[in-house]
Structure 1
Amino acid sequence: MSRATAHVDLEAISHNIRALQKLACGSQFMLAVKSNAYGHGLHEVVRTGLEAGVSSFGVLESTAGIDLRAAGVEVPLFAWMHGQDTDFAAAAEARVDLGVQTFWQLEAIAASGAARTPRVHLKIDTGLHRGGADQPRWAEFVTEALRLQSLGKLEVVAAWSHLSDTSHSADLASAALFEAAVEEARSLGAEFELLHLGASAAVIDLPEAHFDLVRVGIAAYGISPFGDRSAADLGLRPAMQLRAPVLDARHGLASIAVGFGDGIQSDPDSGAYMVVDGHVAPVVEVGVDETVVALPSDADGISAGAPCLVFGDGSQGEATAEQWAVWGDTVGDEIVTGLTSRVPRSFSRR
């Protein structure tokens, strides 16, 4: 090992999925695998999810769904991030359901000439303001979708939205708005196979938002969606460990072969540390390709090639990705997803 490597414990992901499925209370379980499964490896995580009983996957971009179909994945797939160049016909042919958030997306899907009728999920904005039809135009949005359905251009199969996860009361209010929007759409003639609103936080804390399907993302990878409870508090196991070797050690300092060019935080606060050959070593400076740490006085004999744990599950005294998020004033999602492509991934099951 000459530079940083990330190791993914697939059994930890299986454990987390099983624990979260129990909380889903019978709702269908969609595993979000956007951004290369939050940096954990798309195909490896999908195989793990299938073995754990996941019933569908959220892939963000339709190209990832097409890729999974080509790899033999047969369960339902859902993509919801579309640009002007999205090939909606190819997505429909690959049986990738499409989250629709704007009028132009409806029209583009209808005009795509898809040989297979595209299946669409209509999104209502319930307050997060991260896409979806605004409430004053929801009826118009649904009416247009149903008109296009009557022409055989698409099939309306679901309604969905996102929660803000800012507070329990705010999410309850959003769930109520969602239910009201669904009833309005039904009064206009919509017949939904699925309703989905809740993600990781709602699966754990808001059964009122479970509906027919829950979309579980970061919690499945062993990172808490909450600021006041860790993965350990929730009974979840961090799945990723980031390792790097010592490049050089002298004068009480060691340079570690990992930097912000690999995706770690460039300016963590003064509490940041790594574990070098079993010794806690405070971070002094993070550079693009290496990080300097201060070796403790009892860390004799550390030299080039010695192992360093950047983050992991904490079992060897190392920090977790959640702790790095605290140091970097961000969220754990960013720590694992932000690892760059130059960091190779390895995989195992315990």
Structure 2
Amino acid sequence: MIPRVIATIDLAAIQHNLAQVRRYAPQSRVMAAIKAQAYGHGAVPVARALESTGVDAFAVACLEEAIQLRQAHIKTPIVLLEGILSAEEAVLAADEQFQIAVHDHWQLSLLEALPESAEVSIWFKLDSGMHRLGFPLNETASLVEILKRRPRWRFMGWMTHLACADELNNPATQQQIEKFNAALKGLPGARSIANSAGILAWPETHGDWVRPGLMIYGASPLPDRSAADLGLRAAMTLESRLIAIREYDAGEGIGYGQTYRCPERMSIGVVAVGYADGVPRILPNGTPVLVNDTLVPMAGRVSMDMITIDLRTVPNAKIGDTVRLWGEGLPAEVIAAHAGTLAYELFCGLTQRVQFVYKHF
């Protein structure tokens, strides 16, 4: 059976992108973000590819994601970025030796309720300006005192998250860096600030640990720099096939709402992919796809199972031809811009109907 929609994941590209992280931040250890199924690429195969290259740690959002990796025999240290959510999770996280990013006192209470003999590895997450999770910066000294009362706890360090690192002219990032560093002046512990945009654009954020996400998957987090410019290779290529080609006269409307009108007699192709596969319905007329290595525009609204495209520039197109939605030759960032979103959402939005194929390293 030939799949309708295939997401090909190039694991060698992911390894290459990790090498680029190390090139940009050669003095830092790397905590690769593989939460949300490795940004939609598949957490276990991505973790295996990165583990084989000696990545220093993995970052996931929650305990369920961490357990999935351990059950797949991933040995690399795993950090729970949102920490623990219950007393049960505190026990499991300690037993499995997951590192816990603690961001609030109620989480500390859960950990302090564990037996004195419990060996717990923790990070403290500080709020330097993202205003999402994290202890206030003026509490750092009191957090150190808590550590002194728990000698069996293993303190991994301090982390914060950048809110505007992709906006190079926004003063917020520099302000966050200065506030974070000032709050920790003279205090022990490793520092972790940089996300992908920080790694690429703000070298002063590199510190002891960097936490790349999007750049691991070969997409640029910077609006004015392409992935290729940054030395990154796309890890995901999403493709389907042409299943119909029809000729329509000038003025004929295409698809739901007939939002596209043929400007002349022309060929319209129908591709077997739609929003039920993860292609955003909001994509407008003119959004590019690749047919036989030629960029052609979408023509009409994205349907649940199909899109329609303008084939005037590929007169040799035929039924069964491959149509690339994003990937090599057509960056996901380009498609995301047409949808008014980010490549993250495209990657994470693929559904179970898409068949994943892995190119191994």
The answer to whether TM tops 0.5 is yes
Give the Å deviation of 1:270: 3.1
Aligned 1:56-135 pairs, distance under 5 A: 56-82=57-83, 84-85=85-86, 87-112=89-114, 116-135=118-137
> Match of 1:291?
307
Aligned to 1:35: 36
Give the secondary-structure state (helix, strand or coil) at the position aligned to 1:183.
coil
Residue aligning to 1:4: 5
Is contact 1:110-1:153 (8 Å) kept? no
Q: Secondary structure in 2 aligned to 1:131?
A: coil
* Contact persistence 2:296–2:313 (CA under 8 A): no
Quickly say closer, same or farther: Cα 1:108–1:180, change in 2 above 3 A: same
Q: Aligned AA for 2:276?
A: G
How many pairs are equivalent?
336
Cα pair 1:110 1:154 within 8 Å, conserved: no
The question of whether the paired residues in 2 share the 8 Å contact of 1:2 and 1:257 is answered with no
Aligned partner of 1:47 in structure 2 is: 48
Distance 2:115 2:243 in 1: 56
Confirm or deny that 1:313 pairs with 2:328.
yes
The residue matched to 2:109 in structure 1 has which SS?
A: helix
Matched, 1:215 2:211: yes
Fraction of identical pairs, as percent: 30
TM-score, scaled to structure 1: 0.88
Deviations 1:179-229 (A, max 9, x none): 122237x3xxxx42x211111112122221111111111011110010111
Q: What secondary structure does 2:276 align onto? A: coil
- Specify the alignment match of 1:325 in structure 2: 336
CA contact (8 A) 2:288 2:296 kept: yes
Residue 281 of structure 1 deviates from its aligned partner by 3.1
The letter of the residue matching 1:27 is: S
Correspondence list, 1:330-345, <5 A: 330-345=341-356
Residue 172 of structure 2 corresponds to residue 163 of structure 1 = no
Is the partner of 2:358 in helix, strand or coil?
strand
Change (3 A) 1:53 1:148: closer
Instruction: Please state whether the residue corresponding to 2:280 is helix, strand or coil.
Output: coil
Deviation at 1:306, TM superposition (A): 2.7
For 2:70, give the aligned amino acid: R
DSSP-derived class of the 1:11 partner: helix
Deviation string 1:55-103 (CA, Å, 9 cap, x unpaired) is 1111121222222223222222111124645712111111110111111
1:269 pairs with 2:268 = no
Query: What is the CA–CA distance in structure 1 between the aligned matches of 2:317 and 2:123, rounded to whole Å?
Result: 60
> Would the aligned equivalents of 2:128 and 2:161 in 1 still touch at CA under 8 Å?
yes
Structure 1 residue runs without a partner (length 5+) = none
Q: Which amino acid aligns with 1:30?
A: M
Q: Does residue 1:21 correspond to 2:22, yes or no? A: yes
Counterpart Cα distance in 2 of 1:242 and 1:46? 21
Q: How far apart are the structure 2 equivalents of 1:226 and 1:301? A: 35
- Contact 1:195–1:213 (CA<8 Å) still a contact in 2? yes
- Secondary structure class of the residue paired with 1:53: coil
Q: What RMSD, in angstroms, separates the aligned Cα atoms of the two structures?
A: 2.3
Q: Is the 8 A contact 1:65 1:91 kept in 2?
A: no
Distance 1:324 1:73, change over 3 A: same
For residue 185 of structure 2, give the secondary structure of its aligned residue in structure 1: helix
CA distance in 1, matches of 2:5, 2:291: 13
The corresponding residue for 2:261 is: none
Shift of 1:278: 4.3
